[in-house]
Structure 1
Amino acid sequence: MHSSRLLIALPALLVLAILPASAKEPASATPIATGSCAAIPLAGRDAGSVLQSSTANAWGGARTGKEASLSDRVVRYAIAAELDPVKHILTGKQQLTWRNRSAQPVCSIYLHMYLNGFEGPGSTFMTEQRASSGGFRSNVATKDGEYGYIRLDKVAQGGTVAKWSFVQPDAGPSTDRSVVRIDLPTPVAAGAATTLDIDFFDQLPRVVARTGYYGSFHLIGQWFPKIGVLELPGERGATAPRWNAHEFHLHSEFYADYGSYDVQLTVPKDYTVGATGQLQGTPVEHAGKTTHHYVQDDVHDFAWTADKRYAKPLIKTWNGPQGPVEVKVLYHPEYTSNAEPVAQATIDSLAYFSKTLGAYPYKTATAVIPPYGAAEAGGMEYPTFFTADSTDQVAAGSPSRFMLDFVTVHEFGHGYFYGILGSNEFEEPMLDEGMNEYWDQRMMTARKQDIVLTTDWLKRLGIGSRITPFDMERLGANLNDPADPLGLNSWVRLSSGSYNTVYTRTATTMRQIEAQVGTPAMERAMQLYYERWKFRHPSLADLRDALAEGTGKPLIVNAAFDAYIYGTGKTDDRISSMSSQERLPMPGYLTYQGKQVLVGSAQIDKAIETVRKAWKAKHPKAKAGAGPFPYHTVIVVRRDTVKPAQTLRVNFADGSHRDYPVTTQQSWQRLELVTRSKAVSAQLDPGNLLRMDANKLNDSYTLEPQPQAARRWFADFTSLLQSFFALLATV
């Protein structure tokens, strides 16, 4: 636009950008039919929390390994792109070949234009960021000159230029341009394929939300026009064909069809490149530039990095069940000490996930350690390619080392839950972020890698503690006041903090299911889930069914899903009162030789004293709480909302204990006992199976104060604080 015309139009543009969505012209979520094509609707704002199981033939049926390819390849991308690292721009040409899996012709398709989420205040992403009460990641402010966007310069089908228009499937602001509808000159017949020739241009943002530049460092993700997913009946709850192509929201990530990528990347010759997939041959130099050629099949995305400051890459080989895997770590000189730990954590992850879920199916795994000042680029996943964390503290056992290792494990793990399983991160983020968090913490637990909670001043006081990975998750899961079901989509949530519990509450829920059904049963169920749904885009209902079948405990699994995943159930079982008193003879009329005889208080007291002396003489070494008279114990348990079956353990003065079931669905349950030994304490959930209990501190009751209780309160308090700070570091 000419500058004078821009000045005239600017006031109207600014007004449009700041108006609430309800004040703007509503956007239609349904395309207008073209020619003989019937319009195919878009999944809308309320999509998510799928209850209906997918059919057995969804996405072409289970991948048995006998097929010609790992996935049912729906799309093929051939891309040639050149980076100008000074201006931070990228020019690209793309051939997109897409196959219509439906039984009807398709006249319009939808492309994601993710970089437009960073173009200015009118995008859905930035609108939600302004409204967010809990912040977003590191909250890096985008300054003038640091915005980014993607522009379509040409879309043609068979030489005929196509028309396009931006849409807002989730009723976001009309100024959002993250989804574009392409009206095809020629409809795509059922079962047929079409190829689009697309020219595009990227202005990369200053690194934000895991993409962009910082100095010469470039992390280039969600950088090309990417087609949405056409879902068919029986797939993820669909009852008729529908397009799944949501706007780019603040907390949502991605969802795409599996296919093949053939990508040529041209950069200045002194730049090092890392990318999804395998490098083909030797990079070609010409006129001061180098072209790197990468290919990868059976993935649903492609990302890359380029920088002239990278040190020599650290390259290792892991020999897995499907052959050698090249493990590459890209890092900058200031983080040389991070390279080996990240490489080792990646290799350990390859081994753990291959053993516990299924063999890693690719030939490469590339980890990127962002440079100093570009922490916003850390902690992001793409197929065979992810970004790790960075730290100046790599000493074993330190919180920083834990986070360095955990972020590496976590981002690699996405390669399974987001990558190989193809979860819909828009609509059901729990399937990726939550389930991945759960499996990652199982690996950290297997590594015996607890979080050491101490500081220099605490050391001087002689105070130190440790917290296990799953205890950290539970303490950060907001179990006392869950605002949203775990299964909800990524954007219809109370706050950023509520979204973040998708990680912690999911991990805690799954840990509880595992504790209740047993670890071997849970591992069998997860292997069944992976084997059944790899390369097929499962739903929450499909996970539920696999866990129910694989564990053989459908009642436990379904109850947990209903309470915590499809609902906002709260569990808080607690011992509200306890007493244990001797049952002594009482004064009054007694029957003696057929007559009613009045026995007074003085006689009773004298008789009790006589019996006590005789008993003590016979049991001189008896422990406190033992005696000639039985004890009457009364314990009251209170229960809130979600009431899973559990155990109450009563401990006695003689060192013994007894377990009693707590199963009532009322708000309380009373236990009354008459025993020879005094009850001294009681403990709910002695096996620590109910991880979703909001407050474990009220699970126990001791009749006599003990100094250990104060120490326990202090340990829980310090654990909570340290968990809070650790969670802040990962958000």
Structure 2
Amino acid sequence: MKKSLLLIALFVVACMGVGLAQPTATYWQQQANYQIQVRLNDTTHSLDGTVSIQYINNSPDTLQFLWIHLWPNAYKNESTAFGEQTLLEGNLDFYFSKANEKGYINRMQFTANGLPATLKDHPTNIDIAQLQLPKPLLPGQQLQLQTPFHVQLPSLFSRSGQHKQFYAVSQWFPKIAMYDADGWHPMPYLSVGEYYSNFGNYDVHITLPDNYVVAATGDLQNAAEKAWLLKRKSAPIVNAPAKKELFKTGKQPEPFPVPASSRKMKTLHFVANNVVDFAWSADKRFIVKHDTCNMANRSIDVWNYVLPEDTERWQQSISFTKRSLRFYSQQLGTYPYPQVSVVASPGSEADGMEYPMITLLNVQTKNDAMLDQIIAHEVGHNWLQGILASNERNHAWMDEGMNSFIERKYMQSFYEADSRGSKVPADFMQVLQQLHVSRHQDVPIINTPDTVFPLVHYPAVYNKAADWMELLEKRIGKNNMQVLMQQYFQQWQFKHPSPQAFQQMAETVANTSLQDVFSLLYATGPLLQPVKKTTKVTGFFSLAYNDSVRYINLAPALGYNMYDKFQIGLTINNYNIPNNKFQFVLTPMFATGSKTLTGYGRIGYHWFGKGAIKRFELYSGFARFNTNSGIDSVGGSIYSGFSKIAPGIQLQLKPRNSLSTLQRTIDFRTFIISEQQLSIGSPPAPGDTIFYSRKGGSVTTIIPQLTFTWVQERKLYPWSVALQVQQVKDIVRSSITAKYFLNYDKTGKGIDLRLFAGKIFYLTEKTTTARNNNSRYHFTMHAPNGAQDYTYSSPFMDRNQSVGAAGRQISMRDGGFKYRSDFSAVVPGLKTNGVDYFDNWLIALNADIDIPNKFNPLSVLPIPTSLKIFADVGTSASPWTAGSNQQKFLYSIGIHLPLFKAIHLYYPVLQSAAFKEPNSVNDPFKAGGPNWWQKRLTFSIDIQALSPKVSGIKLL
């Protein structure tokens, strides 16, 4: 019955004909036909060719010039729009690429109808040029352009380039920009942000070595080449010459080596009619899979070009390709072209990119469903943007969103269920979208990729746009939606539809105004009003989005310190995607050593503003652990520790623009810390020489703290500045901490610089007694130990510097020197003739320098291991006072070994003579003194480095 109703609906709409929002009599579009002859040099990775363009001016306007896209120039230097955008993506590969890895186009000499035509540079983009016509091009006239060109193909940083003689060749020839009723649309090439191109007919001849397999837009005209492809069932066998290995390098040989290029050349001829682009790919190792798909009384050639390393993953690829062709033809309209090709690209940026009749993709998984999904999506682009050629740069939702909508139907038709109920959903765009919405970082569906971050743009035009299409379907009904999509295709195929055209057609099919639905394309936030949620307990975590469930996550917790020993407990939190306004994490634990309850937690409530303050949060942190132990008068163990509550408010200021990576925050918190004391006592005479521990009273300290922070989170040369004012007991600590990272290669290695400058003000008279009473809160030139972490902000295994490895832990604060202080010294770390309380001013500079891999002796290990050199220099007030004999500048240089992101080992090798060896933290009674490694070795633990992230966005 439903099928009958659908057929009736289709018949009625078809009879309506012009009643639908089809192109009007005044609609026009330009046409550009290309004849190209090109030759590949696979030694220099370059192309030399000529192009002849027939440009037909169907507009009512007289054209004095044409805008030409020279998109290979996007790879010419790091200052192009493409280069700048890769940095916003957090990708440093192109920025740090070598000169021979970049690309460009040159050697062009345009003629227009046989007369010389001049290229004029675009004012800001080197991959766009203006072609000055020798004569105006009148309405209805056509123009014949000709030029030679040379292209240096880049490494595969984006869609076009080469990798070990695998060639993905796209956006590779001089191409006329779009001119429509809104005027010219010149646009630079972007990694994120696609195209808006003229329809045309392409006649392309490609000359290259005879043993390359070529996949391309269009229909191959060489019968002998087709016959050769059909026999290409395996990759060629390459017998590498035997070599005697003098040194074992540990480098594995290539499992599928690239064969040498044939000296014999061949020329392949491709013809493609009514397409918006022409792309091709070539490799000498391709395995060719072929079948045919019959539809509408036509046989369509279905080609898959698979690399040898992908054969196992791509076993079902040809059937997936055929199935997607049939499905999209049913959903929209019959596939009009003679062939479709799916190419397996190597692990590179070429994957997942579509062109007319050909798509390149790479799937690093053995999951058939994922391969099926990606093939369907990319093949589907032949309809959405290939045939329905909307302005994808400005309206990406009309191709990515609509295509994702149909792709969802495809997956629902052939697979039992999607993964929305799992803890880690397969559709990661959904995770990002919900995370952005909950943080008020999302953008409207209609957005342009040059004005927003890539990680914000993608979820909006893929996932949110597909959600919007489902909302539209729910509004007008499934039958009407299918009618709408099929009529949309029939009326606008091989044309350039706009959002307004789609809205008019939808309202005609639905016979009602849909302005309320279409207005959501311009809105931020969720598409639907939130529903009341129920609470569900789940193990560990859940990244799945469910609009009706609020998850409480439970996970086992394990802790350790020298006094509580192992602590076993449970972490309870509600950190979900989307983020809740009220968030908490509670970790109660039982300490097996002290037999007491320990733990930590944090609660917070945030909301968002519309003015200068983007985000407000009221929060409080709390913790309780033991930090010391002793033996009482009856031989039992007693413990002392701390309890902390730290309420605060944090304000996050609004970014200055949508592409700003600068975060500005104001944080005011108050540490309320209660410290249990242990005192030393002795029993009555005659045993008064035997000392024991007993519990004393507790001391409460209140420390208000105000911090202004600027954090530049860009991937290239990030920096941060923190201004902090803190009042504790009788002093006010004011400081500035500035950090700057100087990248020197694409792997993230570089020089980490840190500058600290601090000044202490006394609220009482600065007497010796006052200085001694406040010494715990003074600045330190060295990295503070556990006892000097008076706000208990860093986790310490041993806060009292006991004998053994745990007592060597430090934290990064103040002067930041990596040596640890002497437990017994009145003034930490300096010889007695250089006493300095560090309670006036202190300045220090710290550098942490990555050793490049080629000089790193640890780079030969199977697990990549970094090695760094640290260098610290600092000074303070006392050496500069009259009569002081102190060394004015202190320094320390040594080795830094980072492990597992969070653990850092330090060993000072060279340091100022003023430093004493920290022997007292070792066993002073050990015969021969402490071991060499015990004298200076320290380590730190950075828990924040383990904070979970989704695509670089911290969840906690």
Query: Do both share a fold (TM > 0.5)?
Result: yes
Q: CA offset at residue 386 of structure 1?
A: 0.4
Contact 1:388 1:404 (8 Å CA) reproduced: no
Give the equivalent residue in structure 1 for 2:391: 424
In 2 relative to 1, CA 298–575 (structure 1 residues): closer, same or farther, beyond 3 Å? closer
Q: CA offset at residue 694 of structure 1?
A: 9.1
Give the equivalent residue in structure 1 for 2:43: 86
In 2 relative to 1, CA 716–265 (structure 1 residues): closer, same or farther, beyond 3 Å? same
For residues 167-178 of structure 1, what are the structure 2 equivalents within 5 Å? 167-168=122-123, 174=124, 176-178=125-127
For residues 133-148 of structure 1, what are the structure 2 equivalents within 5 Å? 134-135=89-90, 142-148=97-103
Give the equivalent residue in structure 1 for 2:443: 484
1:376 lines up with 2:349 in the alignment:
yes
1:260 lines up with 2:201 in the alignment:
yes
The CA distance in 2 between the partners of 1:543 and 1:507, in whole Å, is: 15
For residues 531-546 of structure 1, what are the structure 2 equivalents within 5 Å? 531-546=490-505
- Out of 316, 328, 344, which is 1:341 matched to? 316
In 2 relative to 1, CA 716–163 (structure 1 residues): closer, same or farther, beyond 3 Å? closer
Give the equivalent residue in structure 1 for 2:373: 406
The CA distance in 1 between the partners of 2:195 and 2:153, in whole Å, is: 19
Give the equivalent residue in structure 1 for 2:189: 248
The CA distance in 1 between the partners of 2:426 and 2:211, in whole Å, is: 45
For residues 604-615 of structure 1, what are the structure 2 equivalents within 5 Å? none
Give the equivalent residue in structure 2 for 1:513: 472
Contact 1:89 1:204 (8 Å CA) reproduced: yes
The CA distance in 2 between the partners of 1:221 and 1:476, in whole Å, is: 34
Structure with higher helix content: 1
Counterpart residue type for residue 551 of structure 1: A
Give the equivalent residue in structure 2 for 1:567: 523
Q: CA offset at residue 298 of structure 1?
A: 0.5
Contact 1:216 1:309 (8 Å CA) reproduced: no
In 2 relative to 1, CA 476–87 (structure 1 residues): closer, same or farther, beyond 3 Å? farther
Unaligned runs of 5+ in 2: 1-20, 229-261, 536-544, 552-570, 580-948
The CA distance in 1 between the partners of 2:79 and 2:420, in whole Å, is: 43
The CA distance in 1 between the partners of 2:360 and 2:336, in whole Å, is: 20
Counterpart residue type for residue 56 of structure 2: R
The one-character-per-residue Cα deviations of 1:656-680 (angstroms, maximum 9, x if unpaired) are xxxxxxxxxxxxxxxxxxxxxxxxx
Q: CA offset at residue 714 of structure 1?
A: 11
Give the equivalent residue in structure 2 for 1:588: none
1:118 lines up with 2:75 in the alignment:
yes
Give the equivalent residue in structure 2 for 1:166: 121
Structure with higher strand content: 2
Give the equivalent residue in structure 2 for 1:438: 405
Counterpart residue type for residue 129 of structure 1: T
Give the equivalent residue in structure 2 for 1:448: 415
In 2 relative to 1, CA 102–531 (structure 1 residues): closer, same or farther, beyond 3 Å? same
The one-character-per-residue Cα deviations of 1:27-46 (angstroms, maximum 9, x if unpaired) are xxxxxxxxxxxxxxxxxxxx
1:498 lines up with 2:457 in the alignment:
yes
Give the equivalent residue in structure 2 for 1:690: none
In 2 relative to 1, CA 572–270 (structure 1 residues): closer, same or farther, beyond 3 Å? closer
The CA distance in 1 between the partners of 2:429 and 2:79, in whole Å, is: 41
> TM-score normalized by structure 2?
0.49
Give the equivalent residue in structure 1 for 2:64: 107
Q: CA offset at residue 570 of structure 1?
A: 3.7
Counterpart residue type for residue 285 of structure 2: R
Secondary structure at the aligned position of 1:80 is classed as: strand
Contact 2:81 2:190 (8 Å CA) reproduced: yes
Contact 2:103 2:151 (8 Å CA) reproduced: yes
Secondary structure at the aligned position of 1:109 is classed as: strand
Q: CA offset at residue 499 of structure 1?
A: 4.0
Q: CA offset at residue 489 of structure 1?
A: 2.2
Q: CA offset at residue 122 of structure 1?
A: 2.1
The CA distance in 2 between the partners of 1:231 and 1:490, in whole Å, is: 21
In 2 relative to 1, CA 378–470 (structure 1 residues): closer, same or farther, beyond 3 Å? closer
Contact 2:432 2:459 (8 Å CA) reproduced: no
Give the equivalent residue in structure 1 for 2:266: 290
The one-character-per-residue Cα deviations of 1:203-246 (angstroms, maximum 9, x if unpaired) are 001012221100010010000011112213xxxxx3xxx11222
The one-character-per-residue Cα deviations of 1:320-372 (angstroms, maximum 9, x if unpaired) are 1150110000111111123332222211111001111000000100010013x
In 2 relative to 1, CA 143–221 (structure 1 residues): closer, same or farther, beyond 3 Å? same
Give the equivalent residue in structure 2 for 1:275: 216
Contact 1:129 1:250 (8 Å CA) reproduced: yes
For residues 291-690 of structure 1, what are the structure 2 equivalents within 5 Å? 291-311=267-287, 313-371=288-346, 374-391=347-364, 393-394=365-366, 400-448=367-415, 450-451=417-418, 472=430, 476=434, 478-480=436-438, 481=440, 483-555=442-514, 558-563=515-520, 565-570=521-526, 573-574=529-530
The one-character-per-residue Cα deviations of 1:392-443 (angstroms, maximum 9, x if unpaired) are x43xxxxx43332221111111111110001111111111112111111111
Contact 1:83 1:91 (8 Å CA) reproduced: yes
For residues 170-249 of structure 1, what are the structure 2 equivalents within 5 Å? 174=124, 176-232=125-181, 238=182, 242-249=183-190
The number of equivalent residue pairs is: 503
In 2 relative to 1, CA 288–449 (structure 1 residues): closer, same or farther, beyond 3 Å? farther
Secondary structure at the aligned position of 2:39 is classed as: strand
Counterpart residue type for residue 70 of structure 2: M
Q: CA offset at residue 138 of structure 1?
A: 9.2
Counterpart residue type for residue 59 of structure 2: S
Contact 2:199 2:275 (8 Å CA) reproduced: yes
The one-character-per-residue Cα deviations of 1:661-716 (angstroms, maximum 9, x if unpaired) are xxxxxxxxxxxxxxxxxxxx99xxxxxxxxxx9943369xxxxxxxxxx9999998
Secondary structure at the aligned position of 1:411 is classed as: helix
Contact 2:320 2:376 (8 Å CA) reproduced: yes
Secondary structure at the aligned position of 1:102 is classed as: coil
In 2 relative to 1, CA 318–54 (structure 1 residues): closer, same or farther, beyond 3 Å? closer
Contact 2:429 2:458 (8 Å CA) reproduced: no
The one-character-per-residue Cα deviations of 1:265-320 (angstroms, maximum 9, x if unpaired) are 00101111110010113368997101000001000100001111212x10110001
- Out of 93, 96, 106, which is 1:151 matched to? 106
Contact 1:109 1:228 (8 Å CA) reproduced: yes
The CA distance in 1 between the partners of 2:416 and 2:211, in whole Å, is: 39
Contact 1:138 1:376 (8 Å CA) reproduced: no
The CA distance in 2 between the partners of 1:470 and 1:510, in whole Å, is: 19
Q: Which moved more, 1:512-521 or 1:119-128?
A: 512-521
Q: Which moved more, 1:495-504 or 1:219-228?
A: 495-504
Secondary structure at the aligned position of 2:108 is classed as: strand
Counterpart residue type for residue 411 of structure 2: M
Give the equivalent residue in structure 2 for 1:40: none
Contact 2:437 2:578 (8 Å CA) reproduced: no
The CA distance in 1 between the partners of 2:394 and 2:62, in whole Å, is: 26
Counterpart residue type for residue 101 of structure 2: E
In 2 relative to 1, CA 471–424 (structure 1 residues): closer, same or farther, beyond 3 Å? closer
- Pick the structure with greater CA Rg: 2
The CA distance in 2 between the partners of 1:128 and 1:287, in whole Å, is: 40
